[in-house]
Amino acid sequence: MNQKELLEQVKEKANQWINSNIDEESRERIKYLLENDEKELIESFYRVLEFGTGGLRGIMGVGTNRMNIYTVGMATQGLCNYLLKQFSDRDEIRVVIAHDCRNNSPLFAKTTADVCSANGIKAFLFDGMRPTPELSFAIRELKCQSGVVITASHNPKEYNGYKAYWEDGGQIIKPHDANIVNEVKQIASINDVKFQGDPSKIEIVGKDMDEKFLKRSASRAMNIDLIEKHADIGIVYTPIHGTGVHMVPEILNRLGFRNIHHVPEQDVVSGDFPTVVSPNPEEPAALDLALKKADLVRADLVMGTDPDADRVGIAVRDHHGKLILLNGNQTAVLLTYYLLSQWSAKGLLQGKEFMAKTIVTSELVTDIYHRHDLRYFDVLTGFKWIADLIHRYGDEYTFIGGGEESYGFMIGDFVRDKDAITTCAMLAEIAAWAKEQGKSIFDLLLDIYMEYTFYKESLVSVYRHGKEGAEEIAAMMENFRNSPPSEIDNSMVVLIKDYLHQKSDNKATGKVENIELPVSNVLQFIMENGTKVSVRPSGTEPKIKFYFSVQQELPSAEDYDRVNKVLGERIEKIKHELKLN
């Protein structure tokens, strides 16, 4: 389609909206775009937001490609139509709805509840903002067939999103996701959405659910006695203006931690995220205020959660006493190591347990699995795939935990998505366990590197905005797929995994094997020396991600600075080879 054809199509969609049952402010905004801003008009209407790896997510504004009450309403109408077909034998279909702190989140949540109730579906609506993991928990607790949380997770303030969940508490996957999208596509216009809610079908959910969630979260603690012994560990916590503001301090207090410090400026709940450019704990700047507070009070551990409290970033003191940020891989390694060491020490490993990680998460996690002879799974990016494993194997095997490099972890199966509330509690417990041994969390990480191998990982995200950006990202992936590198990091590429075509090509043996995972636009290059490079367009943001992993033995703690520098230089060299720096 050429630009002229695209513009005509966009104008037709825009005029359909103008002539539909929308509010006057939205109508005037569309008219303005038609007359004055062709580029923004195209960006707002050139496509319909669809469910990706994180559901519906986009910039707030008018149009089919924007988050607004109409795209939320159409998505919900499609969800309702599908639920009514899937559960036609039920006397009552139930959906629970939560939202985060973002601008318009309460409005979008209320819109979702109204549309559900207007379709005869019982809607449970939280009385205020709640963390995403509590929404996942509430689905099964309330015996719902679906759930929705309004959030754009860690995205900048311009964004909002809509995560849809199934009755198992996990995010919707195939075939349901595609089927819901098809239902949405069959809605001819906004006028087909039932916006007029039925108050008798809407029930408010409050503190009772918080209490149930906190009790289950606290039950995951492995060593309450050590927490009591080291209750004075200095902890700084920041919710970065989000939903963790009450829940994380509460779970830490319930477990017995008594030296918890807040960052008052970031305890302010705000969808404008006034102290940060982006409320993403993966970005160092988001934790700047927390680090300053930790140095002021001499805290040992810093934790920061994103707006919907499903991801957590941490900082610890290194062997020089300096606070350093750990990446998501390191956090996943610490949690995996601690969980398995405690399950093993307490005689809980009976051969009927399993864990999981995503394909772009550190292979050091895999090494730890192997040491304990544990059943494990590698899954595509997104906790919906870990939730699917629990759904498929949970009756036969016990799920211990699992995580991903992008700062998400899940402990136990009472939540079926990333859970920063329980993870914060476990990280604080790890600090107490390390202190009992006369060590810090960083000392523990060095012990793991010396016991296994020092893996160092890095991530580069390349942003490309709008329609042209999406096309450029697609071209980059096509180039890597058609002309893959033969050597990286001074080592031959021996294995190429193409998850789009579901093929694993062993360049050393010439053997090509099938990849038994769902289709995903991911490429991985594994080198003879163990280096791994993964390339993946984001499913929720306009960017393409490059993941790097290099490794080397760490003979002693004293060698850390030297080996860390060597591995860092290797990663920089790889970035240069791939023209990313």
Q: How far is CA 323 from CA 107, 216, 280, 326, 435, in A?
A: 40, 32, 19, 10, 17
**Active site positions, annotated:** 153
Tell whether 237 and 299 lie within a shared domain.
yes
CA distance linking residue 427 with residue 572, whole number of Å: 30
pLDDT of residue 171: 94
Q: What is the pTM of this model?
A: 0.95
CA distance linking residue 319 with residue 22, whole number of Å: 60
Residue 53 lies in a domain: no
Residue 30 lies in a domain: no
Contact between residue 392 and residue 379 where contact means Cβ atoms under 8 Å apart: no
Number of domains making up the chain: 3
Domain endpoint, select from 451, 466, 492: 451
Tell whether 97 and 169 lie within a shared domain.
yes
**Helical segments of 143-302, H only:** 176-185, 207-218, 224-229, 244-255, 288-297
CA distance linking residue 302 with residue 287, whole number of Å: 8
Annotate 129-140 with b (16+ C-beta within 10 A) or e (fewer).
bbbbbbbbbbbb
Tell whether 86 and 199 lie within a shared domain.
yes
Own/partner long-range contacts of 479-487 (Cβ < 8 Å, ≥24 apart): 480/523, 480/535, 481/523, 484/523, 484/525, 485/525, 485/577, 485/578, 487/527
Number of other CB atoms surrounding residue 552 within 10 Å: 18
**Helix, strand, coil abundance in the chain, percent, nearest 5:** 40, 20, 35
Residue 325 lies in a domain: yes
Tell whether 336 and 461 lie within a shared domain.
no
Residue 318 lies in a domain: yes
pLDDT of residue 52: 56
Tell whether 428 and 489 lie within a shared domain.
no
CA distance linking residue 332 with residue 161, whole number of Å: 26
Domain of residue 191 covers 69-205
Tell whether 264 and 294 lie within a shared domain.
yes
Domain endpoint, select from 205, 239, 270: 205
294, two tokens: 């930790």
CA distance linking residue 76 with residue 69, whole number of Å: 10
- For tokens 């927390």, the residue is 290
Tell whether 160 and 217 lie within a shared domain.
no
Domain endpoint, select from 154, 173, 205: 205
Q: Give me the tens of pLDDT residue by residue for the chain, a chain 581 residues long.
A: 678 889 989 999 999 999 999 999 999 999 999 999 999 999 999 988 876 555 688 999 999 999 999 999 999 999 999 999 999 999 999 999 999 999 999 999 999 999 999 999 999 999 999 999 999 999 999 999 999 999 999 889 999 999 999 999 999 998 998 888 888 888 878 999 999 999 999 999 999 999 999 999 999 999 999 999 999 999 999 999 999 999 999 999 999 999 999 999 999 999 999 999 999 999 999 999 999 999 999 999 999 999 999 999 999 999 999 999 999 999 999 999 999 999 999 999 999 999 999 999 999 999 999 999 999 999 999 899 999 999 999 999 999 999 999 999 999 999 999 999 999 999 999 999 999 999 999 999 999 999 999 999 999 999 888 778 888 899 999 999 999 999 999 999 999 999 999 999 999 899 999 999 999 999 999 999 999 999 999 866 778 999 999 999 999 999 999 999 999 999 999 999 998 87
Backbone angles phi, psi at 204, to 5 degrees: -85, 135
Q: What's 519's domain CATH number?
A: 3.30.310
Contact between residue 543 and residue 462 where contact means Cβ atoms under 8 Å apart: yes
Tell whether 427 and 513 lie within a shared domain.
no
Residue 7 lies in a domain: no
Tell whether 285 and 316 lie within a shared domain.
yes
107, two tokens: 């409005």
Tell whether 249 and 348 lie within a shared domain.
yes
DSSP β-ladder status, 312-317 and 323-326: antiparallel
Tell whether 513 and 444 lie within a shared domain.
no
Annotate 453-475 with b (16+ C-beta within 10 A) or e (fewer).
ebbbbbbbebebeeeeeeeebee
pLDDT of residue 471: 87
Residue 18 lies in a domain: no
Tell whether 497 and 406 lie within a shared domain.
no
Residue 27 lies in a domain: no
Q: What's 99's domain CATH number?
A: 3.40.120.10
Residue 330 lies in a domain: yes
pLDDT of residue 123: 98
Number of other CB atoms surrounding residue 93 within 10 Å: 20
